[in-house]
């Protein structure tokens, strides 16, 4: 790989396999390269290895073999205490939203800035900004329980965005919101992508993938079976 390539590549997997202690081969010899600024859907049937793929990139799991580079971090050589630095370059969106129930929308977003040591002024400025990006400025004082599933996931999105990540990782972010709301979420991710943030999103909603016409990586039995630039495989 040349130095130039290296600079444009944000995620690189070379010969990556993952076998869980239970003996399950979740991924087999996966080779994927994702450039900065790309919007990538990851699809595949249940148990295909999509979540394992995402977990390896977040360094929640370690590969059994092969090499992974994310945002310039060589994950094979990453020490435990260096993991937070890697995580600060990515925004993670959870399928189950993971909002703290007794905190309002504003505090939920501010929380993720606070825990990486941002100052009060920084937090005030940035939180209002990201809440306006996801269209929730008016609901800053609401508790998560008072919001719809779609709105809750938009808070999750705001939280993932607030620390200026180069990469957003979302494993089935629309899994718990109703279908028409799914479009809204992906629409929003598209807007974020336009500002330069790389998006990696797992989904099983094929119609959505077809409509948005982005790069699609298809996994089956832990292998990449298709990798198309515009959703053409589906």
Partner 1 sequence: MKLSSVRHLTGEGFKNVWDNRLMSLASIGVLVSCMVLIGAAMLVSFNVDRAMTAIQQENVIMAYLNDYNSVRYSDKYINASSYKSSSAASSAASSAAATVTASATASGSTTSDGKDKSDVPYDDYLIHNDEEAKVVCDELKKLPNIESVEYISADEGIERLVGMINEEQAKYIAQLQEDGDNPLPAAAKITLTDISKFDESLQKIKGVAGVYSVTSQRDLAKKVTTISNAVTTASYIIIVMLMVIALVIVCNTIRVTMFNRKLEISIMKAVGATDAFIRLPFVVEGIVIGLISAIITLGLLYVGYSAVLRAMVGNIQNPVPYSDHVLLFAGIFAGVGVLSGFIGSMFMINKYLKREGSEFSALS
Binding stretches for ligand ADP (CB under 6 A): 20, 22, 24, 26, 44, 46-52
Nearer to partner 1, 84 or 135 (CB): 84
* Least distance to ligand ADP, CB of residue 201, Å: 13
Please report whether residue 73 would count as binding partner 1 according to CB under 8 A.
no
Q: Residue 47: which of Mg ion, ligand ADP, partner 1, none does it interact with, CB under 5 to 8 A by kind?
A: ligand ADP
- The closest of 6, 11, 8, 4 to 217, measured between CA atoms, is 11
Backbone φ and ψ for 69, nearest 5 degrees, come out as: -125, 130
CA 38 from centroid of its chain's CA atoms: 12
* Least distance to ligand ADP, CB of residue 170, Å: 13
Backbone φ and ψ for 33, nearest 5 degrees, come out as: -130, 130
Please give the Cα distance from 115 to 146 (Å, whole number).
25
Nearer to ligand ADP, 124 or 223 (CB): 223
9, 38, 41, 51: which one contacts Mg ion (CB under 5 A)? Answer: 51
Please give the Cα distance from 87 to 119 (Å, whole number).
19
- HEC string of 73-128 equals EEHHHCCHHHHHHHHCCEEEECCCCCCCCCCCHHHHHHHHHHCCCCCHHHHHHHHH
* Least distance to partner 1, CB of residue 126, Å: 13
* Least distance to partner 1, CB of residue 66, Å: 17
Please report whether residue 84 would count as binding partner 1 according to CB under 8 A.
yes
Helix 149-161 with 105-114: angle, nearest 10 deg: 30
Q: Which stretch binds partner 1 (CB under 8 A): 38-46, 59-67, 126-134, 175-183?
A: 59-67
Please give the Cα distance from 77 to 233 (Å, whole number).
35
Q: Please give the residues from 105 up to 124 whose contact with partner 1 meets the rule CB under 8 A.
A: 111-112, 114-117, 119-120
Instruction: Give, in order, the Cα–Cα distances in Å from 113 to each of 103, 109, 120, 229.
Output: 14, 7, 9, 34
Please report whether residue 55 would count as binding partner 1 according to CB under 8 A.
yes
* Least distance to partner 1, CB of residue 232, Å: 33
Return residues touching partner 1 (CB under 8 A).
Answer: 55, 58, 60-62, 80-81, 83-88, 92, 94, 98, 100, 111-112, 114-117, 119-120, 159, 163
């Amino acid at each position: 790989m040349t130095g130039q390539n290296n600079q444009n590549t944000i995620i690189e997997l070379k010969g990556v396999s993952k076998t869980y202690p239970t003996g399950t081969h979740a991924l087999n010899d996966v080779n994927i390269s994702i450039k900065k600024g790309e919007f990538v859907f990851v699809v595949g049937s249940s148990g295909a290895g999509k979540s394992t793929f995402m977990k390896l990139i977040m360094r929640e799991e370690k590969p059994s073999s092969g090499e992974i580079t994310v945002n310039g971090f060589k994950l094979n050589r990453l020490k435990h205490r260096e993991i937070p630095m890697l995580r600060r370059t990515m925004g993670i969106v959870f399928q189950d939203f993971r909002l703290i129930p007794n905190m309002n929308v504003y505090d939920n977003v501010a929380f993720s800035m606070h825990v990486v040591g941002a100052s009060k002024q920084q937090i005030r400025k940035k939180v209002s900004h990201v809440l306006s990006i996801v269209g929730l400025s008016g609901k800053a004082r609401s508790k998560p329980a008072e919001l719809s599933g779609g709105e809750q996931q938009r808070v999750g999105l705001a939280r993932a965005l607030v620390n200026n990540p180069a990469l957003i990782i979302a494993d089935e972010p629309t899994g718990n919101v109703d279908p028409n709301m799914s479009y809204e979420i992906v629409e929003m991710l598209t807007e974020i992508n336009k500002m330069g943030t790389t998006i990696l999103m797992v989904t099983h909603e094929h119609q959505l993938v077809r409509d948005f016409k982005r790069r699609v990586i298809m996994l089956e039995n832990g292998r990449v079976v298709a990798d198309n630039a515009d959703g053409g495989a589906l």
